[in-house]
Chains A and B, each alone.
Chain A
Amino acid sequence: MVLETVPVEYYMVLSAAVFCAGLFGVLTRRNALLFLMSVELLLNAANINLVVFAFYWGEITGQVFALFVIAIAAAEVAIGIGIILVLQRNFGDVDVTDATTLRW
């Protein structure tokens, strides 16, 4: 298999790159949709790690966890989109820095 030939470090680098992209998005974006997408990137970076190490160790648990994460991500998107819709309705915008009324 092709996978066997690719060393595990490469996957790690890929995963770290995706994670950093997601983190950068979370830290810099103000648009809630982009924010949500960045969170998805973070989750998927974790998924890559889970799948790779499951394969590497010949252990199925990691893949099962990856499935869980995908399911949760789907649920999160559903809720997240809902929140974004409410944001749009209340603030007329999807800028996350506007929604600070709950802080104190």
Chain B
Amino acid sequence: MFVEALILSCLIGAAVVFVAPSGYAGRVAFGVSLAPLLVSLYMYLGFDGSGNAFLGGDVAYEAFAEWLQFGPYAVNYHVGLDGISMPLIVLSTVLTTLAILSAWTPIDSRQSEFYGLVLFLEGSLIGVFSALDFVLWFVFWEAVLIPMYLLIGVWGGPRRKYAAIKFFVYTNVASLVMFIGYFGLIFGLGDAISSTSMPAIAEALRAGQLGYLGTSTIGIGPDALAMAAFLAMFAGFAVKVPIVPFHTWLPDAHVEAPTPVSVLLAGVLLKMGTYALLRFNFTILPQQAAMLAAPIAAIAVISIIYGALLALAQQDLKRVVAYSSVSSMGYVILGLVAYTVYGVGGATFQMVAHGLISGLLFMTVGVFYNATHTRMIGDMSGLASKMPVTATVFLTGAFAYMGLPLMAGFMAELFVFIGTFESTVLPAAPLFAAAAMFGIVIVAGYLLWAMQRSLFGPFRLETDYELGRAPLHDVAPLVVLVVLIIALGVAPDLFFEMIRDATLDVIDVGFGGGLR
């Protein structure tokens, strides 16, 4: 009932906002978005799941209804939450509400459509994180693209059409590749499954029931099929994450998207990719993941270092944050491939932490942009003297991004580093960990440099705008995010406990309980 309440409150809210007059749409949308927010917080407090939803754990807030029959496969409405999806749902609802607040200032045309799409996006995201049936999941997965495409394409910057189409086509082609890979597995399982239920498929794969795709004479054998499916799904999700070299849609999309959309894009949409990687590749095909551990970890390290280097080269504050997202998502991949308690748990924790922190940075850049109408670092300096609160928040966010202890980002990175260091799956694990950790130096470098040039020094602004303190509804979401980031840094167990509980089984898969 609860998951449906979440999704429906978003969709009905979207419909209501769509017909609301533009002048009130922002306030109505904010009010409406409180419903899923409060429901999700209530769900978080009453969360009673244990174990991994795909691997026979107790699923919280489970709901099931028969839906369709496709040949031999039943397609059902099946949703439920475990310790991995619960934090991500809370992240989605929190960030959406805050993004709506942060949209009040910058969005000044077609407000009802804008907020309606944002709420529709929220509903789809919740669906992605809660669906347990593949077809249902895929419907939500694709549904996310539509509002995002429109949000970038209609309300974006000067090159919005290019960015929107690039985003849509890139991720959609990737979805296709992934879809083929997954259906290869479904067909390869043959009679072993009778529905597209993801837990059932995971169980069948774990039981080694993968057969030939086609026949044993002309067909693909189970090992080759599993490997091909792994690669197809990995490539598909890699675009969404994004992992180098599939990352170039991200900076374009971020730069063109309006601030609130960037917040959601970096904060939640990217997490769809890593969530799916965890749910699909690393949960259901652990042997293949272990086989490919070294190359995947190498890609992750390259993402971290290369993304950070690219961020260093940017002049546009938003591009800086966008590229650093590429870097941060590398930590998630590295944690996943480590197959340790801290590795996989830390990767999931990093999804939440990065969602909050990058959301904070994008919002802050947006607040500066609202005031200065420029995002180029070279165009401004000494903003801190004119906008002290916003500058303080930016400083906080930047330090959180650098992994300052007692903030969420540090905890996430620490977990990933520990997890990677002690990994038995990964060859030369300490070296990978050490190489990845060097990212924290480069991150500090570009963020401190960017701050030194834009926030500090004597005041100077190339664009002629009168700077004043930002309005309350711009600053309030920033403060909320800062509080959340520090809370998660001081008490990571708020989320880590349930995450750990849900990821333990993932580590167990195929490695005979080799936890360390």
Q: Do chains A and B touch in the complex (CB under 8 A)?
A: no
* Interface residue ranges, B against A (CB under 8 Å): none
* Interface residue ranges, A against B (CB under 8 Å): none
